[in-house]
Structure 1
Amino acid sequence: MQLYARDVGEGTPLVLLHAFPLSSSMWLTQREQLAPRFRVITPDLRGFGGSVLGGDEPSIEAMADDVANLLRQKGIAKAVIGGLSMGGYVAMALCRRHPERVRGLILADTKATADPDEARANRLRIAERLSAENTVAVLAEELLPKLVGPTTLRQRALIYGRVRGLVQATPAKAAAWAQRAMAARPDSLATLRETKVPALVIVGAEDTIATEADATAMVEALPNAELLVIPRAGHLSSLEQPDLFNQAVTEFVNAIARTT
């Protein structure tokens, strides 16, 4: 599967994998602010943005293989891999399936545990509605209000509007496929315990989807990790507090570039 990807800047390769149900458009501020320092690559995961869905069975592993193929196509042996939410699941699968490609790891507003039964059933219910209705109305109703924190809802109407537009632009078929893929994903804590590269775990202080407790569990599993809690941000910390997010990523990737 060939992914559409934006590729800007020069230097240490930094791959940023987007959240569900958005696209690489969510990384606009990161591309603008980080490209002067690094080579920033932001793929659309399969079915989202400019990437086709294909006919494979839904799986996070397939999405990770897509990213590994993208790096191969671009002649990049290793990259710092960052993922937010669903992108974090893909980043962890990449560590499991293609560890030789990972120079450093950034996990933002995500979790390493598999879905408990209730959450898995809810994903599958939403996937069925997406498939049956062929619209993303269910995501706008049920997921959109949880994607940003209360500070953003109160004070950052433009950001919330942008997120709403990205959700509404999502193809229903891709969203259903991704929900089924996430529902089937395995627990990744054992993968993190074997991941020796430097890692940065980021979480919005107001995130109720992937909580600070989830972030702490990942830091405790990783052999070489640090935790950053971003204040006044919910699940989309890179959009809600881009300056703090980008500063942390810059310091982290610079440190990797100096030491590896």
Structure 2
Amino acid sequence: MGEHVRGGDLDIWVEQVGEGPDVLLIGGLGDTVESWQFQLDGLADRYRLTAFDSRGVGRTAMPSGPVSVEQMADDAAEVLRALGITSAHVAGFSGGSIVSQELALRHPALVRSLVLQSTWPVMDPYMRTWVLFVRWLVEVAPSERAFLEGFYLDIYTPRAHNDGTVAEFIEEVLAFPHKQTTDEVQRYIDALVDYDTSERLGDIKAPTLVLAGGSDATSRPTLCQAVAERIPHARFEVLDGEAHQPFQEVPDRWNALVDSFWRVVEAGWP
């Protein structure tokens, strides 16, 4: 069971499981704690994992005014401090990877290591156009189901669409009671679309693993690699055949990769 913790002027929904070194999981667009279920279930025997609903997502309210990556990074820092966690392995995907980058830049002492899945330093024209497409799609789609079916075409592999995995995900989202409004989705996108960390990534000191889906059509491997090349000593791996969210499609493989990385960090990053 989760609880709200106070972070600045925000009540942030948090769930925590397991025992061991601390891990903070940061989701992407519209993704709640539940998006990390395969990690909460699969890694809790080795780590104490904390996941949370970002501002405007799930059970965390959206304050008035514009949303910024800096605010969301500070929210993540407030979650750690509220729980008495002095340092954690931080894993973020998609928009959550950008928040994770900013967390490591703004609050370096809190970040033991970084795992950045499906990330980028700044959106190139292709990705920016795709994200703006999602921004208007959420407004004009004839139903929530239609939006999800269109959005997920570029998020999950054809394999996941054809074997019923995506259909199951859609039913879970439709049944979830804490809906995100169109305005909240668009404000989150607005915070990310022109965000640029490319000139500051060299300041990140935390051991970093950058992961790309080899078939990701959005934050493509070239964008992920550009992040890895800018962070000193970062490791870069491509999961061949996978799309934007391999931590959900092939969780055992993903969990093994990050577990191996975290074990190296705990043993003393070379």
TM-score when scaled to structure 2? 0.85
Q: Which residue of 1 aligns with 2:71?
A: 62
| Residue of 132, 143, 154 corresponding to 1:146 | 154
Q: Shift of the alpha carbon at 1:192? A: 1.8
SS in 1 for 2:12: coil
Deviations 1:197-246 (A, max 9, x none): 11111111111111111121111111121122123321111011101100
Deviation at 1:97, TM superposition (A): 1.6
Q: Which runs of 4+ in 1 moved over 6 A?
A: 131-135
Amino acid corresponding to residue 209 of structure 2 in structure 1: L
Number of the residue aligned with 1:178: 188
Q: Are the counterparts in 2 of residues 199 and 224 from structure 1 also a CA contact under 8 Å?
A: yes
5 Å-filtered alignment, 1:24-103, equals 24-103=33-112
Q: Which sits farther off after the overlay, 167-176 or 198-207?
A: 167-176
Q: Secondary structure at the match of 2:211?
A: strand
**Aligned residue identity for 2:148:** A
Contact in 1 for aligned 2:145/2:170 (Cα 8 Å): no
More helix by share: 1
Distance in 2, matches of 1:217 and 1:233, equals 19
- Which blocks of at least 5 consecutive residues in structure 2 are unaligned? 1-9
Cα distance, 1:38 vs. partner? 0.5
Local SS of the residue matching 2:236: strand
Identity %: 27
Q: Paired residue for 1:4, among 3, 13, 32?
A: 13
> Is it true that 1:14 corresponds to 2:23 in the alignment?
yes
Mean alpha-carbon deviation: is it higher for 234-243 or for 133-142?
133-142
Q: How many residues align?
A: 256
Counterpart in 1 of 2:3?
A: none
Q: Which amino acid is the alignment partner of residue 161 of structure 1?
A: A
Distance, in Å, in 2 between the alignment partners of 1:230 and 1:132 is 33
Tell me, in whole angstroms, the C-alpha distance in 2 between the residues paired with 1:52 and 1:134: 25
CA RMSD, 1 decimal:
2.4
Report the alpha carbon displacement of residue 164 of structure 1 after superposing the two structures with TM.
2.1
Equivalent AA in structure 2 for residue 162 of structure 1: E
The CA distance in 2 between the partners of 1:227 and 1:27, in whole Å, is 22
1:50-74 per-position Cα deviation (integer Å, ceiling 9, x unaligned): 2111124121111111101111101
Name 2:118's counterpart in structure 1: 109
Deviation at 1:110, TM superposition (A): 1.7
| CA shift digits 1:98-137 (9 cap, x unpaired) | 1221110000012121454x75576457546656889746
Change (3 A) 1:121 1:153: closer
Q: Does 1:249 align with 2:258?
A: yes
Q: Post-superposition shift, 1:19?
A: 2.1
Residues 190 and 162 from structure 1, CA distance in 2 versus in 1: closer, same or farther, beyond 3 angstroms? farther
Change (3 A) 1:245 1:89: same
- Answer yes or no: is the 8 Å Cα contact 2:130–2:218 preserved in 1: no
1:230 and 1:244 in contact (8 A); partners too: no
Give the Cα separation in 1 of the matches to 2:219 and 2:76.
Answer: 23
- Please report the TM-score for the alignment, with normalisation by the length of structure 1: 0.88
* 2:171 matches 1:162: no
